[in-house]
Structure 1
């Protein structure tokens, strides 16, 4: 699916990175691995990025990483956490954005509600870890293999 955001994103992302660097110095993001009762993982398709990703986003000033992943899962997937997320791993995202780090959490206890993001998520889907869509992003695929196949966590995103 092609949207105006996918066309604009290559031009706006450098501005976002410059603004982030000026206002933050280092950046911190979260990704959530939500697993349903059938062992499937929630993935999202953004309106501005190609492929399937774990839901997540940036940690806001004054927000904990745990609160950020709970918020992002609610916004992007409509999940309402019933407990604290479990910390799985921390990764450097130097390949994509110098100074960026991504913290990955797992959450198994949640209720389904309405997504609260508007215009950011094109599609959500639940997939078995052994049957991911072909266009699942490389880092998402790596995290799922680490979690479900026991591979060591790579320090790099």
Structure 2
């Protein structure tokens, strides 16, 4: 049972943000929009957050954004990009984490690898655009709609 992580997350968030700010300065995150051969989109469910999300995370020191999204995809979803991920859009994550931005990358060509997440991922799945989970994260849903359904881009995550 991993529900305790969702209960603790709101209380631990300020400490995580403070640590991130001191080790990263202005923070930058990445998310990957990965499609399978049937044009279904990859989503993950964390053990510590509600809902389904596009996989991703923070860019570490001395790491490029491309390296970060590839690392996060391998760790969280067992997906290794075969080609350089393509930058689709940049979004402010100011409402959730002041000073943070998120880059969205698209990955069409990939190979499966062993997932390396250590207790942070509850579920991984591919979903048809007309069958996305009801509890998909709002920012993830908007990015999918913008990138794949022709919705106008929003600079806010």
State the TM-score, normalizing by the size of structure 2.
0.96
Q: Cα deviations across residues 57-96 of structure 1 (Å, max 9, x unaligned)?
A: 0000010000100000000000121111011000010110
**SS of match in other structure, 1:33:** strand
Whole-Å separation in 2 of the counterparts to 1:25 and 1:62: 13
Alignment coverage as a number of residue pairs: 157
Partner of 1:77: 77
1:104-119 aligned within 5 A: 104-119=104-119
Where structure 1 has 5 or more consecutive residues not aligned to the other structure, the ranges are none
Please tell me the root mean square deviation across aligned C-alpha atoms, in Å: 1.1
Residue number in structure 2 paired with 1:98: 98
Q: Secondary structure of 2:139's match?
A: helix
Matched, 1:20 2:20: yes
Q: For residues 90 and 58 of structure 1, what CA distance do their matches in structure 2 show? A: 14
Q: SS at the partner of 2:153?
A: coil
Provide the residue aligned with 1:141 in structure 2.
141
Unaligned stretches of 5+ residues in structure 2: none
Report deviation, 1:14.
0.9
For 2:61 and 2:85, locate their aligned partners in 1 and report how far apart those are by CA, in whole Å.
19
Which 4+ runs in 1 deviate beyond 3 A?
none
How far has the Cα of 1:4 moved from its partner?
Answer: 2.1
- SS state of the match for residue 71, structure 1? helix
